[in-house]
Amino acid sequence: MKSWPRVEVPPLHSKYQLNELSLTNSKTGLIQVVPAKPMYRMYVCGITPYDATHLGHAATYLTFDLIGRYLRATGSVVNYVQNITDIDDPLLERAARDGIDWKDLAHSQIELFTSDMESLRVLPPDSYIGAVEAIPLVVDAIQGLQQQGSIYPINHDYYFSNSPESTFGELSHLSQEKMEEIFSQRGGNPDLPGKLHSLDCLVWMSQREGEPGWPSYLGMGRPGWHIECTAIALEYLHPDPADSFLIDIQGGGNDLIFPHHEMCRSQARVLTGKELAANYVHAGMIGLDGEKMSKSKGNLVLVSKLVSQGIDPMVIRYALMGHHYRDDQMWSDELLSKAKASFEKLKQACSLAEVPETSKLVVEIASALANDLDTPTVIKLLDEWASECLLGGSGGNATDLKTSLDALLGLKF
Ligand code: ZN
């Protein structure tokens, strides 16, 4: 799949020596160092293109954009892979409900998503892989699991069986009862007759009448969601055999911890005997005025709509950075207005011929980012510096500051 256009990232001045990045690992609940290395492998779950992408999506991909920018600023290469689930039940259901072709629906929603990412200056993935184009990989992965004795049929569908070696449950740490409850809410069927274990997940669904299907040794059908990400991550990130894990970071919104990431981890473990990710990183959800954002409630805030109303995408970026990535947050007009005022002040300060000390500010911003991506502190530092700047002061270098803000935060004036 074609990714969105490349975003130029200026190099950070060599005088800035960055600390190792620390991030909260959802598996351990601890803030954990991402050790320095020449190349990182990062996989972030992409969208299922059936519904409008909103600020919640923007916040998630912004989080991994900041992680990618920081790791790149240390001089490392980041191999970044993202999927797009361009065939799945929600997409087919929505297309049928609205009387449109599922391919047209997917295409229009992918366009909307990628244009949002482009306007927010989110760095595109190096590999942007659709589920449909990944079907041969997925089928190979299912075959690999079958060779381990972990695949069984129910009617003409195929399921992945969680064996003890998969250490299922060690990512999300939920009780069996809770896992079954969430699994049911998110499309799973723990009570399906013929299942070996209630939480076994679908890896290959046989073609249903009126639905698309692709040929495979399992018959005509389509892949399950979890195995799609497992197969794409393993193929496109080329794990290093010397590592005890397969990739450095697996990421997404915190609604993906269970069942999606738990399932991917489990499948990868059975396929390779290794831990999928050294660090599982999850972003919080965004609501509006006290409620969860959803199309059914009619309260989606869309990046494209804000931009069409004249809001600078950099203000949206700045506003989203005002909260910590792991926390759920409520969006409001007031939050946006405050961010706009603070950003305009910063922009004005950076345009002055004389500005106060900036090197110390860049060091402090980098330190805050290294500390589990503490963007609220970054915004506070910028706001305080801009206020000081407007009162006068000299000794700083506005050009260097602007370059640093672009490199580390993706902010461009
Ligand atoms: Zn995924």
pLDDT at 51: 84
pLDDT at 402 exceeding the cut of 90: yes
Per-residue buried b or exposed e for 348-364, using 16+ beta carbons within 10 Å of the residue's own CB: ebbebeebbbbbebbbe
Closest CA to 33 of 19, 45, 44, 46: 19
Distance separating alpha carbons of residues 325 and 334, to the nearest angstrom = 20
With beta carbons less than 8 A apart as the criterion, state whether 259 and 199 touch: yes
pLDDT at 53 exceeding the cut of 90: no
pLDDT at 327: 97
Measured CA distances, 106 to 17, 91, 110, 113 (Å)? 43, 7, 6, 10
CA of 282 to the centre of ligand 1 (A): 12
CATH number for the domain spanning 79: value is: 3.40.50.620
Number of domains in the chain: 1
pTM score, whole prediction: 0.97
155 located within any domain: yes
CA of 192 to the centre of ligand 1 (A): 24
316 located within any domain: no
pLDDT at 163 exceeding the cut of 90: no
pLDDT at 79 exceeding the cut of 90: yes
DSSP H or E run through 159: strand 157-160
How many C-beta atoms surround the C-beta of residue 399 within 10 A? 11
What token pair was written down for 408? 């580390």
212 located within any domain: yes
322 located within any domain: no
Structural domain including 108 reads 23-287
Prior bond of 259 cis (ω within 30°): yes
Rounded to a whole number of angstroms, the distance between the first and last alpha carbons of the chain is: 31
131-140, 152-161, 286-295: range with lowest mean pLDDT: 286-295
Greater confidence, 330 or 293? 330
pLDDT level of residue 122 (50, 70, 90 thresholds): very high
pLDDT above 90 covers a percentage of the chain that reads 94
CA of 95 to the centre of ligand 1 (A): 22
pLDDT in tens, 329-341: 999 999 999 999 9
Strand spans (E) along 227-338: 245-253, 275-283, 286-288, 291-292, 329-331
368 located within any domain: no
DSSP code per residue over 193-205? TT-SSTT-EEEEE
pLDDT level of residue 389 (50, 70, 90 thresholds): very high
pLDDT at 298: 80
CA of 230 to the centre of ligand 1 (A): 7
pLDDT at 296 exceeding the cut of 80: no
CA of 345 to the centre of ligand 1 (A): 39
197 located within any domain: yes
CA of 250 to the centre of ligand 1 (A): 9
CA of 17 to the centre of ligand 1 (A): 34
CA of 85 to the centre of ligand 1 (A): 8
CA of 22 to the centre of ligand 1 (A): 23
112 located within any domain: yes
With beta carbons less than 8 A apart as the criterion, state whether 395 and 48 touch: no
CA of 314 to the centre of ligand 1 (A): 28
- Residues, CB within 5 angstroms of ligand 1 (ion): 45, 229
pLDDT at 134: 98
What is the pLDDT averaged over residues 278-302? 88
What is the pLDDT averaged over residues 42-47? 97
CA of 340 to the centre of ligand 1 (A): 33
pLDDT level of residue 117 (50, 70, 90 thresholds): very high
87 located within any domain: yes
With beta carbons less than 8 A apart as the criterion, state whether 79 and 308 touch: no
pLDDT at 111: 95
Measured CA distances, 173 to 162, 169, 261, 324, 349 (Å)? 15, 6, 12, 23, 47
pLDDT level of residue 52 (50, 70, 90 thresholds): confident
What is the pLDDT averaged over residues 74-79? 98
Closest CA to 172 of 256, 271, 246: 256
What is the pLDDT averaged over residues 113-121? 96
Return all residues near 125 (Cβ < 8 A) that are at least 6 apart.
3, 44, 80, 81, 82
Tell me the backbone φ, ψ of residue 250, rounded to 5 degrees. Answer: -110, 130
CA of 220 to the centre of ligand 1 (A): 23
Radius of gyration of the chain (CA): 22
